[in-house]
Each structure stands twice: as structure tokens, then as C-alpha cells.
A and B are shown apart, each in its own frame.
Chain A
Amino acid sequence: MEKDIVNIGKSVVIKGELNGSEDLTIEGHVEGTIQLREHVLTIGPNGRIKAQVFAKAVIVLGEVTGNVTATDKVDIRDNGSVDGDIVSPRVAIAEGAHFRGSVDMQRKGVQAPAAKPASQAPAASAPAAAAAQRVGA
């Protein structure tokens, strides 16, 4: 069966919410929110995204500023760039890719703990004590 893939071209600028039920490749600029819950989103080499992204899989060859959530995989290819937090069970970051943020690879079926208070008091620190140095390797 032939798979539908939609392209957003280089000259296209979208501001707002982008929803879809087919795979999408973006070469243009998108600002806002992108939701392709069951499909693959590809940010092409010319794509520039300032958005919260939700998809089954996200492949980044261009630039993404914003948080990326994928139920399957996030793949940042060589020269791809992500400035934001990633939540996905599988994450691949190529040598030469740029990434700044956090990567959350929670195991499926494990519930996230309740959020901690923002300024939890640090525990009293134990005095420093050096363990006997071992020589290894």
C-alpha cells in the first residue's frame, strides 16, 4: 500500500496549530504546535521549527526549537539541531548533530513520580571522607 507523505515547502510559513493523520515532511517554517500522534514527522534540512512537537516518530535534519515528544523514536541526524527537551523511549543523536536540553527516555509502563516541590531543602551533607584508594585497570 502506498503511504501518503505531505510536504511543506521551503517558502511556506505556518503559525498556529498543525494537526495531521499522515506522515509529514517540513522544509519551511512552523511556529506553534505540531501534532501527528500516529505518524512520522520529518524536519527537512531547510525546515525551521519553533514549536512543541508531538508525533509517533520525529526525524530532525533541520532546526527545532521547542520540546519534542515522540511515542516511538526521535532521531537527530547529522547537522540536525534540537534546542529543547525530548521525551521518547528511543533517542538517536548523530555525531555532528546539535542538541541542548534534556532527554527523557522513560520505560514504558512506568509511571512518572509526582512532581517534587521546586525548592526542596537539601539534606545535610556528610563530612568528606576519602575511601582507601585502590589501584585498578
Chain B
Amino acid sequence: MGLLDRIATRRLDADALPALSAPADEPIFATKALRKFLASLTSREMPVLLDLGPVVGSNVSFFGEQLGCKIFVEDIFADVDRHVREGRLDELPAFLARRFPQADGEVDGILCWDVIDHLERAAAQALAGQLTRVLRPDGALLGFFGTAQPREARYTKYIIVDEVNLKHRAYPAARGRQTILLNRDIIRLFPGLRVSDSFLLQNNLREILFRKGS
């Protein structure tokens, strides 16, 4: 191998490096509540989950393998974007109030992610009411709540790495977070649920695990 060949090879290796390393915009964060959320569902045979985020194939596989469950994917972020684009945001609360076809108490667990942060109060209340309705007694709801309002209009996909780590992947949104809720405001949104666990993570995300009274 000549000198030029060796230089060319080295340059190719260097070019390949960024592709091999983890993308900078997909940081991995610890999660304290996911494991507890899973634990609350393992005692159920074939639990039913409701995922309010965009479909993430690896999450679907993860829950399928862990729980052998049924998952309803109801992408609320897409609903918000559609209402923003069509200038019908005032209709969003009424839309959310009739959004879920699930029967009362049909769902064992809800992955709410940070949906609530992206809604105005009326829409958040409508959504919270519906989630409380479809959750079965003793069911669990996992919600994330920000403590700072980023300027960028973007959503976050939460990709499960394992039961104690999540990858955060940002993607464009029609608008940014609407509210930073205090703990008491969050609790008031879900009067039919109680806070089982609450964690403030190093990235300033609050993870709250709610349970419905039995």
C-alpha cells in the first residue's frame, strides 16, 4: 500500500467517525419513573397501553416484549399541529373531549410523555379528563413536565433505550411549549388520580407517575 493509499484510507476512516458516534441531538437521559410504570403493569395479563406520542417502533417492540400488551397509539402532537395549521385551536378542547374511542376504565397504563406542556389550560383539562376516564382503577399514567420554556417550536420523541434510560429526539412542531405548570397545577389537572411517585431529573424534567384509586 502506497503513502497516498494510506492517507486516503485514514481520511475515509475519519469521515466515517461521526456516523458511528451517537448523534449530538439525541442525548440519553436517565428515567426513574419508567421502571415503576412497567412494574405497575407486569401484574396484569395482557395490559392495555395508551401512547399519546408519535409512534416509535422500538418503543412498541419494547412494551410488546416486556408486557405482551396491546398498545393504542393516539398521537396528540399531530392533532395539535393540525389544529394550529388550520387555525382551529379554539376547537382543540372539544376535539380532545371526544378524541378517545376507548371505553371507561379500558386502559391499564398511559404514556402521556410531555403532551400537557404543549396545551393551553382548557385543552389540558379536556385531555386530563379523558385520560382519567379511560384509565382503569389502579391504572398508571406516566407524565413528563418541563421546568423551563424553550424558545424553539419543537416536540420531543422519547425513545426507550432500556427501562432506566430514554433517548430524546427533537422534531419540528407548529409551536412550542405553552405552559410551565407548578406541581399543584399538575395535581389539579388530574383530580381523579393521585401522585404515586415524582422525580426531578438532572435535565430539569419532572417525571410524575399517577395512579388511579381502586
Q: Which residues of A contact B (CB under 8 A)?
A: 76, 89-95, 97-107, 110, 112-113, 116-131, 133-137
Contacts and interface: CB of A to CB of B under 8 A. Distances in A.
29 contacts: A89-B64, A90-B64, A93-B57, A97-B57, A99-B55, A100-B73, A101-B72, A103-B73, A105-B60, A105-B68, A106-B68, A110-B68, A113-B46, A117-B103, A119-B103, A120-B105, A122-B104, A123-B213, A125-B193, A125-B212, A126-B192, A126-B213, A127-B194, A128-B192, A130-B187, A133-B200, A137-B29, A137-B31, A137-B32
A104 B60 CA distance: 10
Nearest to A95: B57
Contacts of B133: 122
Contacts of B187: 128, 130
Contacts, number: 137
Interface of A is mostly: loop
A107 B68 contact: yes
Given A119-B104, A121-B104, A123-B212, 9 more contacts: A101-B72, A102-B70, A106-B70, A126-B192, A129-B194, A130-B195, A134-B197, A134-B198, A137-B29
Contacts of A120: 103-106
Contacts of A136: 30, 32, 199-201
A120 B102 CA distance: 11
Contacts of B194: 126-131
Interface in B154-188: 183-184, 187-188
Interface in B198-214: 198-202, 212-214
Contact of B196 (A91, A101, A123, A131): A131
A112 B198 CA distance: 33
A113 B24 CA distance: 45
Given A105-B69, A106-B46, A93 B55 contact: yes
B5 interface: no
A129 B202 CA distance: 25
B193 A105 contact: no
A110 B199 contact: no
Interface in B125-159: 132-133, 136-137
B191 interface: yes
B44 to A, nearest CB: 10
Given A101-B73, A106-B46, A123-B105, A129 B195 contact: yes
A135 B73 contact: no
A112 B48 CA distance: 12
B42 interface: no
A116 B137 CA distance: 14
